[in-house]
Amino acid sequence: MHPMWPEVHLHLPLVWRAVRAYERDPGAQEDLVQEVLLAVWQGLPRLRDPARLPAYMLRIAHNLGASHVRRAVRNPERPHLDQDALALIADASSAPGEADTQWLLDALRLIPLPQRQVLLLQLEGFDYKEIAEMLGISTENVGVRAHRARKALQDIHDGHQ
Amino acid sequence: MMDINEDALRALWQRQQPPSDLARTMARKVRRHRRIETLRRALDVVLTIGGIALLTWPVADGRLSPSQWLLIPFFSVFLVTSWSILLRQQADQRVAAHEPVAVYVSIRKVQLRNRLRHLKLASAAALALLGYALAGVIICYLFGSADWQHAALQLAVWAVLWSVGTGWLVRRQRATARRQYRQIARLAAR
């Protein structure tokens, strides 16, 4: 067992939250978390700075989440915010408590992948520079994607008001 | 219309906590997966050694039976295309996933294009094997003795089974690879 493995377990909630924004089915979410952990396990010996572990795990989670297709057939990504999807989100947000989280998850799954990734990393508390490094894009591009993501989220929010 | 509050959104997002037994379940699943991987690697080695032994021991023995003659091309195709292509596929994605997203996208696209090419090769190899086995049956029934006819028929049965199995696997994996390619291509969008 790698000495950093207990640390990996500490950051498991980060991975779990990221995976939920890509996959709706709880069983498939578990499979995806497992896939991420296996990739993390493989890469741990090459990780020089332990402080970078959360970012490293999230990068893997977003890479594997974005290319994950198992349930994508049943729930295809929708580039446009159609009325059925908005109605679904509106239903989910009608009840208090967990429904808020469900609303957020459903809304995030409607946002195009490049923008969704930036928004998810922002929600985890990373700044533009860190996000740019994780995604391999410029900070300006992060800004553009973040702006578009927030706009899309606002549209979804306004759509069911 | 009310603006979404960023702090509230972040708090809502970070409020999500995984089920309490997730870490334990994951540790169990990862251990199980690693055992299966070890088993798969062992199977890989056993198949390779078995194939090589099957090809070389008749030479050491000094005599080749009809079924061994017929099996030599079978294993030439089998060794190249089957487990080297169809069994080893997941690990390269995990290695690529360590890279920044932009790099991952380009590596993964190349990997998926290669994967589709490999599947095409596996499919072509299975068909070639089937063609070879059927030609063997015809030739052996026209010119060969009973030993050769029996060996050719046996090979043909294996070739049909192999072809059907490969076809099923290739169709399944090709559809997944194509879906994943389309999904990945979306990531490259600005």
Interface check B103 vs A, CB under 8 A? yes
Say yes or no: B85 and B36 in one domain. no
Residue A70 is given by DSSP the state T
Per-residue pLDDT at B30 = 84
Are residues B101 and A123, on separate chains, in Cβ contact within 8 Å?
Answer: no
A79-161 is classed CATH 1.10.10.10: yes
Q: Which of A36, A104, A122 sits opposite B12 (nearest CB)?
A: A104
Strand, helix or coil for residue B173 = helix
Say yes or no: B29 and B122 in one domain. no
% chain A with pLDDT above 70: 81
Nearest to A45 by CA among A9, A7, A11, A2: A2
**What is the distance in angstroms between the Cα of B22 and the nearest Cα belonging to chain A?**
8
Residue B16 lies in a domain: no
Per-residue pLDDT at B183 = 85
Say yes or no: B180 and B107 in one domain. yes
Per-residue pLDDT at A121 = 95
Residue of A nearest to B101 (CA): A135
Interface check A140 vs B, CB under 8 A? no
Say yes or no: B33 and B127 in one domain. no
Residue B8 lies in a domain: no
Residue of B nearest to A160 (CA): B1
Q: Which of B3, B15, B100 sits opposite A135 (nearest CB)?
A: B100
Say yes or no: B104 and B164 in one domain. yes
Say yes or no: B31 and B95 in one domain. no
Q: Are A121 and B14 in contact (CB under 8 A)?
A: no
* Dist. CA A107–CA A94, nearest whole Å: 14
Q: Which domain holds residue B36?
A: 22-63
Residue B133 lies in a domain: yes
Say yes or no: B55 and B83 in one domain. no
Are residues B101 and A141, on separate chains, in Cβ contact within 8 Å?
Answer: no
Residue B98 lies in a domain: yes
Say yes or no: B35 and B96 in one domain. no
Q: Are A105 and A20 in contact (CB under 8 A)?
A: yes
Task: Give which of B17, B26, B172 to mutate to test A binding, by max A Cβ within 10 Å.
Answer: B26
Q: Which of B12, B25, B179 sits opposite A69 (nearest CB)?
A: B179
Last residue of a domain, one of B10, B33, B63: B63
Are residues A114 and B190, on separate chains, in Cβ contact within 8 Å?
Answer: yes
Sign of the CA dihedral with A11 first, then A12, A15, and A20 last: negative
* Dist. CA B5–CA A156, nearest whole Å: 14
Joined tokens for residue B165: 């199995």
Are residues B16 and A73, on separate chains, in Cβ contact within 8 Å?
Answer: no
pLDDT per residue as tens, chain A (161 positions): 677 888 888 899 999 999 999 988 888 888 899 999 989 988 888 888 888 899 999 999 999 998 887 544 444 444 444 455 455 444 544 444 677 888 889 999 999 989 999 999 999 999 999 999 988 899 999 999 999 999 999 888 887 55
Q: HSE (CB half, 13 Å, CA atoms) of A147?
A: 7
Say yes or no: B86 and B74 in one domain. yes
Per-residue pLDDT at B124 = 87
Residues of chain B predicted below pLDDT 70:
1-3, 55, 58-62, 75-91, 189-190
Say yes or no: B151 and B177 in one domain. yes
Residue B10 lies in a domain: no
Residue B13 lies in a domain: no
Say yes or no: B118 and B29 in one domain. no
Sign of the CA dihedral with B75 first, then B78, B83, and B84 last: positive
Residue of B nearest to A62 (CA): B101
Query: What is the total count of domains within chain B?
Result: 2
Domain A1-76: assigned CATH number: 1.10.1740
pTM value > 0.90: no
Parse chain A into domains and list their residue ranges.
Answer: 1-76, 79-161
Say yes or no: B121 and B169 in one domain. yes
Interface check B89 vs A, CB under 8 A? no
